[in-house]
Amino acid sequence: MSCYSKEKMDRNDQNNLCKSHSVRSDRELYRICPSKLSKRELEDLYFSLLENNIELKRTINGQQDKIRGLSTKVQRMNATQKNLQNKEVKDCCIGTKAIINEQKESITELKRANQRMADRIQMLNMRLCSAKQFFKKPAQPSTSRCLRCAANGGTCTPKKHNCLDKANEPAVMKVSTSTQVDERSITMKAAQTETSEDEIKEPSGQTCDENKCRSLMEELKLKIVHLQDELFTVHEEYASRITRLEGEVCDVRRENTRVTAQRKASEHELHNLLQRNTEILATCRNTHSRCAELAAQLSIERRKVAELETQLKASNMSDKVNKTIEDHLTTRNVSHVLFNVATDIQCALCMVVQGKLSRTW
């Protein structure tokens, strides 16, 4: 009755479970009637059910402990994985941002240098064009130059002037090559200041000199070649930096894909663990309901055993009473038979005595 009172206090789902279990137990579990079993068999059945219940409780406790341990392990794994992912993302973001900022600064510097070089090349091209135009004109400034030298007291002739020009050409080439070597170590601003100073120092009268024009043309050509080489090297450095940055970006993307794949795998494993935990909980609930049903069945069987014991005691008492009555009746019948026999013997003796007396008389 206590089991039924508890079942009334439970929910409707548990009532339905108990009803289904009662139907199932009537159909499957115990096909032998308990009234046909002996007391020893009922005790064995009770102890087996008790041991089964204890084992089920132990398994339930062990499974619950395993579930707790697995849940804590999963939580720790999630926390560590989140921390690692956040740290990796932060480090990656900081590193990539720093690299991008450095590359942006280098790109801006290279653009400025390229612009300065382009401006200088444009200026040199303009000067070269002006020198070419001057070289195409007739060589009147040379005669004026020679006359001017003669007026100053110099005894130079056109032939001697030409010889001096021929002798000065290798010196001019050496000076131009030396200036080319020196300009590689000088910055763009120093080169601009030097060209501006050369333009300021050049007098208006010296622009008519052929040798000066030739030397300037050669120097400008060498400077143009040097600037083209520098521009080519700058472009190569820029291309190498771009390729290096692209490789780093590919590495970062590859690392990101690896981390995302690892995260998906861990999430899948976590989902499988949660599903397994739900299955274990379902089995635990089923075993708990089975234990409750077995306890109810055991209480019913105990009640039946008690009823059978009372019936057995009543039958034993009735058997004893019947035996006493039978014994009493048997003793009474024997005494009655003996009394009849004694009376018959007495009657016979009396008749014998009377016969003897009649003979004597």
Reference 29, options 302, 301, 248, 326; nearest CA is: 301
Beta-carbon count within 10 A of 49 CB: 16
61-65, 78-82, 206-210, 296-300: lowest mean pLDDT where?
206-210
Residue 124 has pLDDT above 50, yes or no: yes
Residue 85 has pLDDT above 80, yes or no: no
Backbone phi and psi for residue 36, each to the nearest 5 degrees, phi listed first: -85, -10
- CA atoms of 168 and 174, how far apart (whole Å): 10
Q: Is residue 171 within a helix (H) or strand (E), and if so which, with residue range? A: helix 158-184
- CA atoms of 158 and 149, how far apart (whole Å): 11
User: pLDDT-derived band of residue 192, with 50, 70 and 90 as boundaries?
Assistant: very low
For the stretch 15-44, pLDDT in tens is 454 444 444 444 444 456 667 778 888 888
**Residue 308 Ramachandran class (φ > 0 left, ψ -120 to 50 alpha, else beta):** alpha
pLDDT at res. 145? 41
pLDDT at res. 187? 43
Per domain, the residue ranges of the chain are 330-361
Beta-carbon count within 10 A of 249 CB: 13
Residue 4 has pLDDT above 80, yes or no: no
Residue 355 has pLDDT above 70, yes or no: yes
The top-scoring range by mean pLDDT among 18-22, 30-34, 207-211, 345-349 is 345-349
The top-scoring range by mean pLDDT among 11-25, 231-245, 291-305 is 291-305
Reference 109, options 29, 188, 46; nearest CA is: 188
pLDDT at res. 170? 40
Backbone phi and psi for residue 138, each to the nearest 5 degrees, phi listed first: -65, 155
pLDDT at res. 361? 58
DSSP string, 61-120: HHHHHHHHHHHHHHHHHHHHHHHHHHHHHHHHHHHHHHHHHHHHHHHHHHHHHHHHHHHH
User: pLDDT-derived band of residue 6, with 50, 70 and 90 as boundaries?
Assistant: very low
Mean pLDDT value across residues 193-199: 47
DSSP 154: -
More confident position, 95 or 63: 63
pLDDT at res. 173? 41
